[in-house]
Structure 1
Amino acid sequence: MLIRIVKLSFAEENIPAFLENFELMKQRIRNAHGNRFLELYRDRDNPEIFFTYSFWETEEDLENYRKSELFYDVWSFTKKLFNAKPEAWSVDKLTSLP
């Protein structure tokens, strides 16, 4: 299982458009082949910063999503709203406590 964390930073005036689009697309992203989990977080100290947190069965599943028309649609809309370069990490879970 691969975990993908993406940091997104938006101009304040663009946040409503981002949230509206995420609401429209989140189920399609979650239903992408290999996606097992999707959450959106907002930074408590800086409300312009968001994080997506997703679980992928394999790195290939993530890469197939990143090459998909769905990703193109999501990313081409979202990237116009940024006020800073996005950052992304692919990580492996080492420990999980219930």
Structure 2
Amino acid sequence: MIVRIVNMHFKETSIGKFQNMFDAYKEQIRNQPGCSFLELYQDKDDSQRFYTYSYWEDEEALDAYRKSELFAKVWPQTKALFDEKPQANSVVKIHSLL
């Protein structure tokens, strides 16, 4: 399993627009083949910073999403709202305790 963590910092005036976009697309993103989990977090100290966590079956599933029509539609709209370069990391989950 691949866990994709994306750290994004938005223009203050774009936070509401981003949250509306995320609400509009979250189900479609979560239902992409190979995606089993999607969450959005907002930093407690910096209201302009958000993180997405998504779980992907494997690197191929994540790559397929990045090449999808949905990603081609969502990512340019999201990028236009940033005031800092986003950071994306793919990690492999070692342990999880619930």
TM bucket, shorter chain: over 0.9
Cα RMSD (Å) = 0.5
- Corresponding residue pairs, total: 98
Shift of 1:97: 1.3
What's 1:10 paired with?
10
Structure 2: which amino acid aligns with 1:30?
R
**Secondary structure in 2 aligned to 1:74?**
helix
Partners of 1:93 and 1:29 lie apart in 2 by 20
Structure 2: which amino acid aligns with 1:85?
K
Gap regions ≥5 residues in structure 1: none
Gap regions ≥5 residues in structure 2: none
Structure 1: which amino acid aligns with 2:17?
A
CA deviation string 1:2-42 (max 9, x = no partner): 10000010011000110001000000000001000000000
Shift of 1:94: 1.1
Shift of 1:59: 0.4
Q: If the length of structure 2 is used for normalisation, what is the TM-score?
A: 0.98
Q: If the length of structure 1 is used for normalisation, what is the TM-score?
A: 0.98
